[in-house]
Amino acid sequence: MGPTESLAAGRDGTPLWWRSAGGGGPPLLLSDGIGCSGFIWDRLFPALSRSRRVIHWNYRGHGKSGSPSDMSRCTIGDCVDDLLQVLDAAGEPRAVLVGHSMGVQVALEAWRRAPERVDGLVLALGSPSHPLETFHGSRLLAQVFPVLKGAMEAWPGGARLFFQRLLPSELSLQLGLWLEVNRQLVRREDLRHYLDDLSRVDTQVWLRLLDSAASHDARPWLPTIRVPTLVIGAERDTFTPVELARQMHEAIPGSEYLLLPAGSHMGLLEHGELTELRLSRFLEQRLPVRPPAAPEAAG
């Protein structure tokens, strides 16, 4: 049986798309990076759903989810609210939260706010704090972001043109292949999928989410995490340098660590088989599938 799709409602009424496949718990809930709508899970979603339930959802203003009527409701905190609403709609009181890129911040914030709903954490290729300050190992993006934010707010039409016309272009694809990913490992189609996803995102949602992520800092509560945790870093990740993954692993008691050799920010696809095998082993050893509850005897 293939995946099923449905809609949940955010607390403010924003429609939230989610899909589910497989059965058995503890289930996995997959959260994307900013601007992404699921391409990074193309291998893991079907593979992992063979042994347990896997749920994937789209952030507000991303993919098949709607945009909020109030653009101030585009923060990491709003993403956590939405995540919990999706879990409720899926009928799941708890889940293993699997986050890629900004999804790491969303998962960590969910742990802080609702630890009773978190069975485990898989933190892949993301930063626990202030990601703009470490992008390409420099604070340059953090310094220019206020200017970029002002320009996008002043000329929203230009921002939409850039996202819709320039991002999916062959020029953007070639720049990405040469500068951001390991072109020996990644498929051209995977990067094209990423650029297509990003080109369709609501630009004002993207801007406000990025602004929120830029100021978010989960480092103070990393030592409080008390659930099985796997941290994944990639050796050549320019978006979130691998040192951040190592530091996160060292700060979280009892966490495990996977390094993707020569991998980029798309390392989950570049090293699909390695990631699948290591994640499956982590789940089998630390979070085994629970047998279904026996029916209660008739009184």
Counted residue by residue, the chain has a size of 299
228 falls within a domain: yes
Domain assignment present for 299: no
* DSSP codes joined into one string, 139-186: SHHHHHHHHHHHHHHH-HHHHHHIIIIITTSHHHHHHHHHHTS-TTTS
Running DSSP on this structure, what letter comes out for residue 14? Answer: -
Per-residue pLDDT of the chain (299 residues; tens, 9 = 90+): 578 999 999 999 999 999 999 998 899 999 999 999 999 999 999 999 999 999 999 999 999 999 999 999 999 999 999 999 999 999 999 999 999 999 999 999 999 999 999 999 999 999 999 999 998 788 877 888 788 788 778 777 777 777 777 776 776 667 666 767 777 787 888 888 888 888 888 989 999 999 999 999 999 999 999 999 999 999 999 999 999 999 999 999 999 999 999 999 999 999 999 999 999 999 999 999 976 555 555 44
Residue 75: CATH number of its domain:
3.40.50.1820
- Give how many domains the chain has, as a whole number: 1
Task: Tell me whether residue 72 is in a domain.
Answer: yes
Q: How far apart are CA 262 and CA 240, in angstroms?
A: 14
223 occurs within a structural domain: yes
- H-helix segments, 188-266: 188-200, 203-215, 242-251
Residue 112 lies in a domain: yes
Enclosing domain of residue 236:
4-286
Residue 245 located in a structural domain: yes
The answer to whether residue 270 sits within a structural domain is: yes
Residue 149 maps to a domain:
yes
